[in-house]
Amino acid sequence: MKKRLFLIISMLAVAFTLAGCSSNDKKVAFDYDNDTIAAYANTLANGYIKLSEDEAVVENWEANGTDAVYISGQGQQVSISQSDVDAVKVFSSMEKDYGKFESLDSTYEIEEVKDTVIVTLTAKCEKETAEVKVTFVDDTARFNYLCEFYQMDADSLIAQGVYPYKPSEFETGKVQTLGEKMKDAGTNTIIGMGIVFVVLIFISFVISLLKYVPMLLDKETREKRKAEKAKVAAGAAGTDEAAEEQKPSNAVVDIVNTETGASVMDDSQLVAVISAAVAAYESGNNSQVTYPSNDKLVARPIRRVRR
């Protein structure tokens, strides 16, 4: 039992270890430079934060969406995408949750998730420190088209602020302290260990029930053998009864009339038959001698042959 339990625990540990491993060999479809993409994310975040501080812009964009009109500082009308509207909504709620925005740190973290690149920035706010995540997706097709259209190389186009990627999502959240991270890690560990112990207890319970399986199988086997023995005994009893019926009777059988039931043999005939039978028995079972009587009755010994 201990060996089985140890084997189960080892298998579960290996399964959890393999599940926690991930491959970082996968690369995104577009090329990027860490400093360049981080600076681009910083510029976008600062711009949307300033827009979110203008209540008129927020109300206009939330009410009209992509139909809203945005006039740039140079007095030019700028088209608005759905990602712009979503970004303003996200950053407008940041001030309510973490206080008035102060500045963005120069530090950043970059992570590749599937076909996207996520840049994480740190925003200092009045109440708490928040983190800003900007997700970039592939935009290589548009970038290559612009390179051919303007007859420019990639570096020159990037210098003009055009990149082979574009922002798709903005997200803000609270920066957790070391104590909060340890608390969350401890909670997750306790939950994971609890699930493992529950599974082990269930498996142990199932293993403990396996001892009843042979008993059930033996019961079925015993009932089957009992039925076979009863069948054999019934067949043997039938054979004995048939053999008893086939045995010759030692009693002297009288010859009677089937219609009246009266005997058709008189005393002299009966005496002759009995005398002939006795004489035949005394002369031997294998002899076949006939003994005529005065009444012209012939008695012959009958030999039964069992088949």
Domain boundaries, the chain: 25-175, 176-217, 258-307
Burial (CB count within 10 angstroms: exposed 0-12, middle 13-18, buried 19+), residue 118: middle
Burial (CB count within 10 angstroms: exposed 0-12, middle 13-18, buried 19+), residue 208: exposed
C-alpha angle 12/13/15, rounded to 5°? 65
Tell me the H-state helices in 139-260: 140-150, 154-159, 178-208, 212-246
> Which of 23-37, 136-150, 249-263 is most confident?
136-150
Which tokens go with 154?
A: 């990639």
So what's the pLDDT on residue 166?
A: 92
- Over residues 195-213, the pLDDT tens digits come to 999 999 999 998 988 888 7
**Measured distance CA(90)–CA(193) in Å, rounded:** 37
* Check whether domain 25-175 has CATH 3.10.450, yes or no: yes
> Which of 34-38, 216-220, 233-237 is most confident?
34-38
The backbone torsions φ and ψ at residue 71, rounded to the nearest 5 degrees and listed phi first, read -105, 120
pLDDT band, residue 242 (cuts 50/70/90): low
So what's the pLDDT on residue 14?
A: 62
- Is 252 a residue whose pLDDT tops 50? no
So what's the pLDDT on residue 162?
A: 92
CB atoms within 10 A of CB 61: 25
Radius of gyration of the chain (CA): 54
- Over residues 284-302, the pLDDT tens digits come to 554 454 545 555 555 555 5
Contact 41, 33 (CB under 8 A): no
So what's the pLDDT on residue 22?
A: 46
Least confident range of 129-133, 145-149, 269-273: 269-273
So what's the pLDDT on residue 265?
A: 55
The average pLDDT across 47-67 equals 72
